[in-house]
Structure 1
């Protein structure tokens, strides 16, 4: 007697882009992840910026994380560690919405969402495409953030809007994007390395690819720290380009690109100069990427669960 046949039930891998997970929900999850990532570790990022300033005045040299934190808090007030955060909040939401939407779309197109198979090339490529798109939106906000993070910035700018107007009035629209090519030279390899490491580590820790907060947190932290250490030199030059308008040094103010920035840095401080702020960069990036991936995956899981409930 013939056995009745049953149709295979179509399943989707949690890590893939499921059919009931809309673009709007994906962007909302990305926006939440971006804001959470940047705001929690913002004070350490502010210290990193001050440590990376080229040839500051004698009273504006910052060398260590603890010493810098105490100095800013005691000399300028604890709230100065969060000065400029409004720019990050305004920019990070839309930028990370674009970031994760691009990541999922490109990963899907390259076949990176097929269950049971690791796709390192798809992960790296989708990460690189995601950062190109999001940095185009985020770069002006990052310029404003770093201008407001430097010492005595409150004497020049009262608010994020005031800073944006001042930069535009004194340096023109190009000042918001002079660091964009350098930013990409840092963020494209950073994101490719981070996504490659994250996908590899999370797959090794969680072969079933089910939602696992510990895996997403640990994999995000390790991947972020690894990528941050390798891309610190580009971050130093980016800071130089984004803060050059506040310098009194004519040679520094005239730097207009990555190559010129590297040349000047090497002349002034040698190879060591390219790794200024590497410790706070790693300390900032490890928990921030852990928070980012955890927030994104939690939001993604929430939307998927709600959609499944609504459709059943």
Structure 2
């Protein structure tokens, strides 16, 4: 049985999930990265900001190719990050099914394996996320020459522990998103017409991944907002430290809507992005199986 939420008809080795997830992740980040930059800048801005479209147009006009500042860390981490996402979800699903004794995961079991995969993924991604946030922030323009300069300055200022700033909020962000994503994919696909061609399979995967990714984004955006602010604090007294108290601080000072700053570019990235992930992951898994790798 395949437990990676694709239509692959038989169980495949765990390394297939690593390869497929890695290729899917890099594909998604290359297509959707500009929206991630707009999202981060909106989250770091205190007070009312402009629309997503005006911010995106302004960034394209004034930054040009520089809008891809900070893409090196996510590119470097995207392959192992998404690989771990899909492979760990398969691993945890197998362990849960073995313990429970049932053949297919229930809704609760699918959510549980997704949450555990999210927690595992968060430990890997947090240092790369921190570097990316520092490079994307407008107020840091000119502060770092490049990615390596940013890494060296963080290491000099905060030491090794500095790279794990925001770990707790990253854990919340990932467990919410992965729990919703993997918890709903098979349920959504079960409600759709049985595909009779590869194009219909691709369509079903994209719709299921996009809807599941959208719900995950709704659930995890407040944690993502405070994660960005926690990781962008470099020197002096730190206003934001832990996820839940920071969410309360943002809510108290800026209102509920501030917890969803950057939501539109984020959901436009991770909704379709979730579809891209599932489509590419499914395609690569089938390719590996067909060619007997």
- After TM superposition, the score normalised by the length of structure 2 is 0.88
Shift in CA distance, 195/286, structure 1 to aligned 2, threshold 3 Å:
same
Match for residue 86 of structure 1 among 57, 72, 89: 72
Deviation of the 1:232 alpha carbon = 1.4
Deviation of the 1:175 alpha carbon = 2.6
Structure 2, unpaired ranges of 5+: none
Partner secondary structure for residue 155 of structure 1: coil
Task: Give the stretch that moved more between structures: 62-71 or 138-147.
Answer: 62-71
Structure 1, unpaired ranges of 5+: 1-10
Match for residue 51 of structure 2 among 49, 55, 64: 64
Q: Conserved in 2, the CA contact under 8 Å of 1:118 and 1:200?
A: no
| Aligned position for 1:198 | 185
| Aligned position for 2:253 | 268
Q: 1:159-174 residue pairs with structure 2 within 5 A?
A: 159-174=146-161
Match for residue 289 of structure 1 among 266, 274, 277: 274
Deviation of the 1:294 alpha carbon = 0.7
Match for residue 210 of structure 2 among 199, 211, 221: 221
CA distance in 2, matches of 1:103, 1:135: 13
- Cα deviation 1:78-136 (Å, max 9, x = unaligned): 21221111111101111222221111112122239x99956212221111111111211
Shift in CA distance, 305/160, structure 1 to aligned 2, threshold 3 Å:
same
Q: 1:20-99 residue pairs with structure 2 within 5 A?
A: 21-55=12-46, 62-75=49-62, 77-99=63-85
Deviation of the 1:16 alpha carbon = 6.3
Partner secondary structure for residue 97 of structure 2: coil
Match for residue 110 of structure 1 among 84, 87, 96: 96
Match for residue 140 of structure 2 among 122, 145, 153: 153
Task: Give the stretch that moved more between structures: 157-166 or 140-149.
Answer: 157-166
- After TM superposition, the score normalised by the length of structure 1 is 0.83
Across the two proteins, how many residue pairs are aligned to each other? 287
| Aligned position for 2:285 | 300
Which has the higher Rg, Structure 1 or Structure 2? 1
| Aligned position for 2:233 | 244
- Cα deviation 1:252-303 (Å, max 9, x = unaligned): x343222442243134312221111111111111111111111111111111
